[in-house]
A and B are shown apart, each in its own frame.
Chain A
């Protein structure tokens, strides 16, 4: 997969890695759960259009190219997850917090 992508579009590899990193940086906090691979794919798709990567390719060829990009993104994400590159700084805290029940008045 690396070889194929390197052969077809070597300059695209750093762009894909950078896009994955950028998406991670921009969509932070609670929104992180809503990050979609389609967002990365959409950005890459726009780059592909503007840089004429699709010129001269049949629809099947374009699809094959996008599949390669998709597989490459999976590999990048796996690498980042394995290395903990974007590891959360949040630590697990199990300090007990009593739950106040509504409707119950508390007093001394």
Chain B
């Protein structure tokens, strides 16, 4: 029982410290725009990691067998948040016009933020291409089980 109390206390401290308020400022300058891994002429330092995280998210959601198109990404500079549906957020996913064309959507993120935000936006993306609903209200449990740094679910090896 003492062990449970200790762990609960540690978790509470972690939760409280993670809730520290941080002012959001809009990033307005587009630094990179294109495929996750880079374009024909230009790429970016985080490209490999971003692609890896998005593929991990897909596997975590049990969608590895589907050959859905990857999202594209727009990296913004000048602030720590991006405009998304009229509000400032850490990241944003904008769905494409349809799921058939391969132009399935855009992940929009500010430079300098943690790469884990990519997992969250990729959950929106894979949900959208798989179900047609990107789940803007975050009702799917997949945002918690696959949309962070820990991904224990997945297809068997």
Contact = CB atoms under 8 A, between A and B. Distances in A.
Chain A residues touching B, range: 35 or more
By DSSP majority rule, is chain B's interface helix, strand, loop, or mixed? Answer: mixed
B18 A83 contact: yes
Contacts, number: 140
Given A81-B148, A84-B149, A94 B59 contact: no
Interface string A65-105: 00000000110011111111111111111111111010000
Nearest to A98: B42
Interface string B36-65: 001111111110011010011001000000
A46 B77 CA distance: 49
Nearest to B50: A92
Interface of A: 10-11, 13-14, 17, 20, 23-24, 30, 32-38, 40, 73-74, 77-99, 101
Given A74-B145, A80-B149, A99-B43, 16 more contacts: A38-B156, A74-B141, A81-B147, A82-B144, A82-B148, A84-B149, A85-B14, A90-B115, A92-B115, A93-B45, A93-B46, A94-B31, A94-B46, A94-B77, A94-B111, A99-B40
